[in-house]
């Protein structure tokens, strides 16, 4: 199936998303929403020796959001929490060999949900204070819409 503007990697992750699901009693949980399109992403992690041991996602979102979630879970698995915190929205889009311009913004949810899950864990273990975690929600950068 040809999809104009979508890289092979995006299509592949969309068709065969990795790490889909829910972890019961996760060590860290992150949920972010996009106020423009209503898409929602949740990430669940377990942590062992300060590394992302297991990671799963659930996305109520567009195809790009699914591909982004799948990619971000693959990128984060096995990394230390500090390393995983350094994964940016752009890194995820780059790993997917780019997204069409009007879908770039869909890459926001993946990295943000991952970071939210790690911060949730850090709050639990007392590394950071709850006040240091701000609510993540996205209206689109500079007012852009996500094109759906």
Q: Please, are residues 57 and 131 in contact by the beta-carbon 8 Å criterion?
A: no
Q: How many chain residues interact with ligand FES (CB under 6 A)?
A: 11
17 binds ligand FES (CB under 6 A): no
| Dihedral angle of Cα 65, 67, 71, 77, to the nearest 10 degrees | 70
Q: Does 62 bind ligand FES (CB under 6 A)?
A: yes
Smaller CB separation from ligand FES, 62 or 113 = 62
DSSP strands (E only) in the chain: 28-34, 40-48, 51-60, 137-138
For residue 45, the minimal CB distance to ligand FES (Å) is: 21
Among 19, 26, 32, 39, interactor with ligand FES by CB under 6 A: 39
Angle between helices 63-76 and 8-15 (to 10 degrees): 90
Residues forming contacts to ligand FES in the complex (CB under 6 A) are: 34, 37, 39, 61-62, 64-65, 106, 109, 146, 148
């Amino acid at each position: 199936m040809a999809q104009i503007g979508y890289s092979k990697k995006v299509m592949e992750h969309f068709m065969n998303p990795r790490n889909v699901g829910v972890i019961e009693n996760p060590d860290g949980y992150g949920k972010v929403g996009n106020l423009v399109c209503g898409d929602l992403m949740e990430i669940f992690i377990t942590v062992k020796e300060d590394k992302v041991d297991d990671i799963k996602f659930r996305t109520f979102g567009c195809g790009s959001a699914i591909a982004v979630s799948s990619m971000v879970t693959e990128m984060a698995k096995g990394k230390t929490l500090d390393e995983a915190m350094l994964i940016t929205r752009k890194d995820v889009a780059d790993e997917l060999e780019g997204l069409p311009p009007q879908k770039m913004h869909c890459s926001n949810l993946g990295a943000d949900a991952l970071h939210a899950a790690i911060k949730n864990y850090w709050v639990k273990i007392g590394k950071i204070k709850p006040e240091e975690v701000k609510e993540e929600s996205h209206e689109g950068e500079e007012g852009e819409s996500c094109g759906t």
